[in-house]
Chains A and B, each alone.
Chain A
Amino acid sequence: MIEKRADVVIVGSGAGGGTVAQELIPLARDGRKVIVLEQGPRFARDEFTGREMDMAPALYEDQGGFLTADGTMTLAFGRAYGGSTVVYTGTSMFPPERVIGHWNVPGLDHSDLDTRARKFAEQNNVHLLTDDLINDNNRLFVEGCRKAGYKAEQFPINVKGCKGSSLCNLGCPNGAKQGTHAVQLPNAEKNGVEVVTRAEVVRIEDRAVIVRVSEKRAGTKGLPSEWQPGEYRIASPIIVLAGGAIGTPALLLRSHIQGLPPAVGEGFTCHPAHILAAEHQHDITNDVGHPKSYYLDRAVEEGFVLETCMYFPFTTAKNLAGFGAPHSRLMRAFPRLQMILVLACDHAVAGNRVSVDGHGKPRVHYQFTKQTIDALIAATRASARIFFAAGAVRVHAPSADPPLLERADADRIDQRIDASHFKPGKISVSAAHLMGGCGMGPVTDSRGRVRGLPWLRVADSSLFPDSLEINPYLTIMALADRVAEGVREDIGSLAAEH
């Protein structure tokens, strides 16, 4: 095993890790060694082909289909230089005051988080797209919402030079998305922070990490690692974990660190989601243009959020319920499909948690509560009304049996879409907003310091004590900024002890 030393090791390079890396530039400038370890590879710009079967295996864990322990939901999270910021749509929402208040974390103030989130929004070029770049899929959502009595709002997004490829979730082929891979990490590297890719942290020891650096396999995408393949032990007085809401708790649990708070892994939430589709009579622009430009926030009233979306053929096929001729008919209507993503604002409950198996691999235990199912049903009903109001001739709703609703069913939406048809294991439920597992409060303080282990910090969405009820990356960056501030304050004393 090769021995190395650092002053700060950051595990993960997504919204959390990438932010901490940048915010520790002052330490690097002072001659301290800051190392970021990223499990995924770094990609060359021309490797982003936009082809679903090329990119999903390269960018996502289990191609975006990581299964929960009972196999009833798939979870999507990125593995790349930049983490999940490479594969999100760039929708940039500020921390909601109501939710941060409900979290009730001592020392965490909404206005402080909001100020920090706005700093990153500016850095990452967050703005509203101009009207000429909005496609029909999004326009129909706005129109349908208006006619159905709702008010859609426009997502601020973090792109620069967006060509409207619609391929955000497969990594932007035009380098337009301003994730940490495009902004914070390059800035950090330019200023002396070292980023090592293909570097999987096997476990943590007292003030040290054990890392396995992998070789690039022939025929796979991504650049080779910056380090020689092999196993390394890096001693460091501060270790910051930012491997995401599955990776971070799993790493802590398999490391068996003495004094670890018992609540590690608890409180997992994920905004369980359905992809809904509706068929129009005529072709619409759907697979061109930014896919996620508008949303409808019904979190307070009904516990859900609707977002525009457009997915790729396999992802779409997987998420439509059923099979055979009716399924094929809908797939052949692809150029006429309007899509809505419905997200339930789930809440942390006992039993929904991350654990590890005998090999240290993460397992996510998740049961749909009645509240979550009711939210998904209410969201599906609202979406059906919006689709029909926008002129759709038929709507596909997984919680209807059969799943296709014709226009004639428009006045029977509440009867047709019903919780009795929500059958886990039969219908597709997926999630990409993974949160909790190292919640501020039981596991860390409001600056991500793990209780009882001041050398260990957490700086990702696993800090959320409950779901955020909106797209999380700006809130993660704001929290990570606070963690970095704490590291800058504490490095002197912790390094002296080491």
Chain B
Amino acid sequence: MRDSTFAPVRDAFRAVAGTIVPEAQSLDERAWTELESAIDTGLQTRPDSMRRQLRIFVRAIDVLPLFRFAKRFRALDPAQRTQFLLALQDSSLLLIRRGFWGLRTLVFMGYYGREEAQRAIGYRADPRGWEARR
């Protein structure tokens, strides 16, 4: 079995994930494990090179703010974190925009793929359909 994709960059990944979905900051360890495991499942069919690239991207997100804020990403305050990720999202380089879009998508998959999160936002789809509502 392969290690969790973000295990080597766990602290930085969780700081990024908590900025993308602020509610993730209050997850307990069990929920984080569930989130990260959903991402691993999602990446199962992707090549190993993609997992490596994702780790490099998260590392870069953690380190690059040193040049601007003299702090790693995980040490930034919430507003600075958001500001930094917005810059990636709006980057003039497609490679950066695409990388951030991919990372953001994985975080959403991990967070909103959990039934607990689905219930929390009021999602109630049920195979029984109308019968379950009437």
Chain A residues close to B by CB (< 8 Å): 48-53, 57, 62-63, 65, 70-72, 133, 162-167, 173-174, 283, 285, 287-289, 312-314, 316-318, 322-325, 327-328, 331-332, 334-335, 423-426, 428
Contacts and interface: CB of A to CB of B under 8 A. Distances in A.
B45 to A, nearest CB: 6
The 8 tightest CB contacts between A and B, nearest first, are: A164-B129, A163-B129, A425-B97, A173-B127, A317-B108, A335-B122, A313-B112, A287-B125
Interface string B27-52: 00000000000100110111000000
Contacts of B22: 324-325, 328
A173 to B, nearest CB: 4
Contact of B131 (A163, A322, A423): A163
Chain A contact residues, majority secondary structure: loop
Contacts of A312: 123, 125
Interface of B: 19-23, 38, 41-42, 44-46, 82, 85, 89-90, 94, 97-98, 101-102, 104-105, 108-109, 111-113, 115, 117-118, 120-133
Given A163-B128, A426-B89, A314 B101 contact: no
B21 A287 contact: no
Given A50-B125, A62-B46, A335-B124, A313 B118 contact: yes
A223 to B, nearest CB: 20
Contacts of B102: 71
Chain B contact residues, majority secondary structure: helix
B85 A313 contact: no
A328 B21 contact: yes
Contacts of A62: 45-46
A202 to B, nearest CB: 18
A71 B99 CA distance: 9
B94 A70 contact: yes
A174 B127 contact: yes
A50 B124 CA distance: 11
Given A318-B109, A328-B21, A313 B121 contact: yes
23 contacts: A51-B115, A52-B118, A53-B38, A57-B45, A72-B98, A162-B129, A163-B128, A163-B131, A166-B125, A167-B125, A288-B125, A288-B129, A288-B130, A313-B123, A314-B109, A317-B111, A323-B19, A323-B20, A327-B20, A335-B123, A335-B124, A425-B101, A426-B90
Given A314-B109, A317-B111, A332-B120, 8 more contacts: A50-B126, A288-B129, A288-B132, A318-B105, A318-B109, A324-B19, A324-B82, A423-B90
A165 B128 contact: yes
A283 B112 CA distance: 20
A89 to B, nearest CB: 14
Nearest to B102: A71
Contacts of A331: 112, 121
B22 to A, nearest CB: 6
A172 B12 CA distance: 39
B124 to A, nearest CB: 6
A192 to B, nearest CB: 34
Contacts of B19: 323-324
Contact of B97 (A167, A289, A335, A426): A426
B29 to A, nearest CB: 20
A341 to B, nearest CB: 17
Contacts of B127: 48-50, 163, 165, 167, 173-174
A425 to B, nearest CB: 4
Contacts of A173: 127
Contact of B104 (A164, A166, A323): A323
**Candidate in B22, B46, B90, B121 with the most chain A CB atoms within 10 angstroms:** B121
